[in-house]
């Protein structure tokens, strides 16, 4: 942008004030840009019909037809107010315009008025270039009355994502939003706050310092005219921008009627990933999260941290492989021994003859295997036979080499020679591939 001093005769020249961003010459002279500023003042974001007319006829033509009916609207006044607040105007024809917002125009309205479309323009405070934001941004939202659990997780997730070079987008509200912004700032990463009022109207007022800090390193964004208070309905309309400015949305705590669910709905309509952090089943602040996981299971992913989130939204080939988990109690056992454990009921005791029949092994071979398993703590000898212990019921680690495949055509009793081996763990002879990694009872007995 040019540093040209605005041709404003309504007040003193503030060009020397720190952090001011003077509009370019085009802001003050381009009829199309001036018309968008005026129409945003007249209609606000709720009037989809005005935006449709602008796309069809152009902003300048629409404003020329309406100008006489709104003599008090002066787009230069809004440009001057934005300039004094250190904000700039970004229009769809600008290089800084995030193309991801255009997807909002392609959404089909379900008849409830929830689809509003692309903003006429955006007012932006801060150094972040919006066009470069969405490919490396994640939205983090949630309830205002968050618990300490939710605040901690939101901050941790935002911090970890920012450390990895991701921007964090949210709405600057109390609770989860503020925790997400602060987490990103603590990691010295960019964060973007999308407001329901003007960029020069900090809301909530308790977040004046937070919004100033965001504007220094990230961006404070709004589609409504400078000086406009945050009307209640506009908290919902701005949520579509919060959803559209990122690769996906993470929900951290939300009640059944939380406004954050509206952001999730926009994300789902845009076809972008919806990620939900679960909470305690007894917490009302996580009821909305759990409902999403239950009712929209095909469109919702459960995540527990930044690693899960990056797995959903990062580019292919950019992820570092997770380290393998530790060995499970059944890992390293031979196939015959694992089949014996799988043949045992989950809770009830069973005799040696029954196990021999289920596995196809000789009773003396089964008995020889049960002794060492009892020493290992995987089974115990009780009245009525043998049964699995808590340790023995634990599933095997699917990533362990001995559990990584499925057997093709091998019957449980086909390898009698293995039945006489000691069932102790051995990396030299883990047994053939194909063990059941779940360690479940194939007969379904309890």
What's the pLDDT tens digit per position in 388-403?
888 887 766 554 444 4
Q: What percentage of the chain carries pLDDT values higher than 90? A: 59
DSSP 8-state symbol, 67 = G
What's the pLDDT tens digit per position in 181-200? Answer: 999 999 999 999 999 999 99
10 Å CB burial of residue 280 (0-12, 13-18, 19+) is: exposed
In the prediction, which pLDDT does 321 show?
Answer: 60
DSSP-assigned beta bridge partners for residue 301: 275
Q: If 0-12 CB within 10 Å is exposed, 13-18 middle and 19+ buried, where does residue 150 land?
A: buried
Cα Rg, the chain, nearest whole Å: 31
Rounded-to-integer distance, Cα 364 and Cα 359, Å: 13
CB burial class (10 A; 0-12, 13-18, 19+) of residue 268? middle
φ, ψ at 390 (rounded to 5°): -60, -40
Element (H, E) at 193: strand 191-194
- 392, 406, 398: which is closest to 435 by C-alpha? 406
Phi, psi torsion values for 147, nearest 5 degrees: -85, 170
pLDDT at residue number 283: 94
What pLDDT score does 323 carry?
57
Closest by alpha carbon to 130, among 230, 260, 20, 222? 222
Q: What pLDDT was estimated at residue 109? A: 61
Contacts with 128 (C-beta within 8 Å, 6 or more apart), sequence order = 167, 190, 192, 218, 219
To the nearest 10°, the Cα dihedral for 41, 172, 253, 238?
A: 10
pLDDT value for 426: 36
Tokens 């503020």 belong to 178
Would strands 137-141 and 191-194 be described as parallel, antiparallel, or unpaired? unpaired
**Prediction pTM value:** 0.70
Predicted pLDDT of residue 318: 59
Low-confidence ranges of the chain (pLDDT < 70): 1-27, 108-115, 316-327, 395-446
């Amino acid at each position: 942008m040019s540093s040209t001093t605005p041709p404003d005769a309504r007040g003193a020249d503030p060009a020397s004030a720190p952090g001011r961003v003077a509009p370019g010459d085009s802001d003050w002279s381009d009829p199309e840009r001036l018309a968008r500023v005026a129409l945003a003042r007249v209609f606000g974001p709720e009037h989809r019909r005005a935006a449709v007319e602008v796309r069809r006829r152009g902003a300048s033509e629409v404003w020329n037809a309406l100008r006489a009916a709104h003599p008090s609207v002066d787009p230069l006044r809004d440009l001057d107010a934005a300039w004094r607040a250190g904000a700039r105007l970004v229009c769809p024809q600008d290089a800084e315009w995030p193309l991801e917002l255009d997807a909002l125009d392609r959404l089909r309205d379900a008849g409830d008025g929830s689809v509003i479309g692309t903003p006429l323009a955006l007012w932006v405070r801060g150094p972040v270039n919006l066009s470069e934001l969405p490919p490396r941004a994640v939205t983090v939202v949630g309830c205002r009355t968050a618990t300490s659990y939710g605040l901690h997780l939101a901050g941790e997730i935002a911090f970890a994502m920012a450390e990895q070079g991701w921007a964090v987008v949210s709405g600057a509200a109390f609770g989860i939003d503020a925790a997400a912004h602060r987490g990103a700032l603590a990691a010295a990463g960019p964060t973007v706050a999308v407001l329901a009022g003007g960029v020069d109207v900090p809301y909530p007022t308790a977040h004046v310092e937070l919004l100033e800090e965001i504007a220094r390193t990230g961006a404070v964004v709004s589609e409504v005219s400078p000086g406009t208070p945050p009307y209640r309905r506009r908290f919902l309309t701005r949520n579509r921008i919060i959803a559209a400015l990122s690769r996906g949305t993470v929900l951290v705590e939300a009640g059944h009627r939380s406004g954050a669910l509206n952001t999730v709905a926009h994300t789902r309509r845009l076809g972008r990933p919806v990620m939900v952090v679960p909470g305690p089943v007894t917490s009302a602040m996580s009821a909305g999260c759990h409902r999403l996981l239950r009712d929209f299971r095909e469109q919702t992913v459960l995540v527990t941290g930044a690693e899960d989130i990056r797995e959903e939204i990062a580019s292919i080939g950019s992820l570092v492989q997770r380290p393998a988990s530790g060995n499970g109690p059944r890992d390293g056992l031979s196939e015959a021994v694992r089949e014996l454990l799988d043949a045992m009921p989950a809770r009830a005791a069973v005799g040696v003859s029954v196990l021999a029949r289920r596995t196809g092994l000789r009773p003396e071979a089964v008995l020889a295997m049960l002794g060492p398993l009892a020493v290992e703590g995987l089974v115990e000898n009780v009245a009525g036979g043998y049964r699995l212990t808590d340790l023995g019921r634990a599933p095997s680690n699917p990533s362990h080499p001995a559990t990584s495949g499925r057997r093709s055509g091998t019957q449980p009793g086909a390898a009698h020679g293995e039945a006489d081996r000691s069932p102790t763990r051995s990396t030299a002879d883990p047994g053939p591939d194909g063990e059941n990694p779940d360690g479940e009872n194939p007969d379904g007995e309890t």
